[in-house]
């Protein structure tokens, strides 16, 4: 703002003086970040972390501007194959370049789909050690199988005949499924 003053002396001689006011906005805008949340992988092991799913900021306010839109940047930590973490940092800047304090939303991505355990019967000899690979008959999981475990891996001479052995399939998020295989123990 330029303000001009005109001053006259007793002889009516004018003196013009100019004063300049600079008005600035140095007030930060404010907003509320979305809540931390957990989302889940689909049956094809994909996930949707768009704002439509994970939420958008609310209560965007600035003393001089309207219609501000917050932005975000994501950092994905996928070092654990079963659980991903997105650290979403929200930013908001007003029309005068004043930034709000950044706010961080944590989005956890997990797989809650159980594996499908499929067993097949096998025949083994007494004292023969058998593995999950021999009993497994195409077990699957949407995001991958981390381990297989058997309830028993060998039988002795007193156990000739048919036995139920449980195969436990565990995925990378700790979800488990079981199936039972008939293991026929042969004396030869």
Task: Identify which of 86, 143, 94 has the alpha carbon closest to the alpha carbon of residue 114.
Answer: 143
Q: What is the pLDDT of residue 33?
A: 97
**Residue 71 belongs to what H/E stretch?**
strand 71-77
Q: Using one digit for the tens of pLDDT, what is the confidence trace for 94-118?
A: 999 999 999 999 999 999 999 999 9
Tokens of 93: 């800047």
State the pLDDT at residue 27.
93
Residue in this structure with the two tokens 């704002």, named with its chain if needed: 51
Place of tokens 């004292």: 127
How does pLDDT run across 37-60, given as a tens digit for each residue? Answer: 999 999 999 999 999 999 999 999
What sign does the CA torsion over 24, 27, 28, 31 have? negative
Number of Cβ atoms within 10 Å of the Cβ of 27: 12
**Percent composition of the chain: helix, strand, coil (DSSP 3-state, to 5):** 5, 45, 50
Backbone angles phi, psi at 26, to 5 degrees: -120, 20
Q: What is the mean pLDDT of the chain?
A: 94
The pair of structure tokens assigned to 171 is: 């995925």
- Provide the edge-to-edge strand list for the sheet that holds 71-77: 37-40, 103-110, 83-91, 71-77
Q: What is the average pLDDT across 58-82?
A: 93
**C-alpha separations of 137 from 102, 117, 124, 145, 179 in Å:** 51, 8, 16, 13, 10
* Residue 168 · residue 149 · CB < 8 Å: yes
State residue 143's pLDDT score. 93
């Amino acid at each position: 703002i330029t303000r001009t003053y005109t001053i006259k002396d007793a002889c009516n001689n004018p003196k013009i003086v100019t004063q300049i006011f600079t008005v600035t906005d140095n007030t930060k805008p404010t907003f509320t970040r979305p809540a931390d949340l957990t989302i889940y992988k689909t049956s094809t092991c994909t996930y949707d972390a768009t704002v439509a799913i994970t939420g958008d900021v609310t209560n965007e306010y600035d003393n001089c501007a309207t219609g501000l839109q917050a932005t975000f940047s994501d950092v994905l930590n996928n070092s654990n194959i079963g659980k991903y973490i997105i650290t979403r940092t929200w930013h908001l800047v007003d029309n005068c370049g004043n930034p709000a304090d950044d706010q961080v939303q944590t989005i956890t991505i997990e797989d809650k789909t159980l594996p499908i355990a499929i067993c097949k019967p096998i025949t083994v000899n007494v004292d023969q050690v058998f593995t999950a690979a021999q009993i497994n008959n195409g077990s699957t999981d949407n995001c991958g199988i981390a381990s297989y475990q058997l309830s028993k891996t060998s039988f002795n001479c007193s156990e000739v005949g048919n036995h139920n052995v449980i195969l436990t399939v565990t995925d990378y998020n700790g979800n488990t499924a079981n199936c039972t295989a008939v293991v026929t123990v042969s004396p030869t």
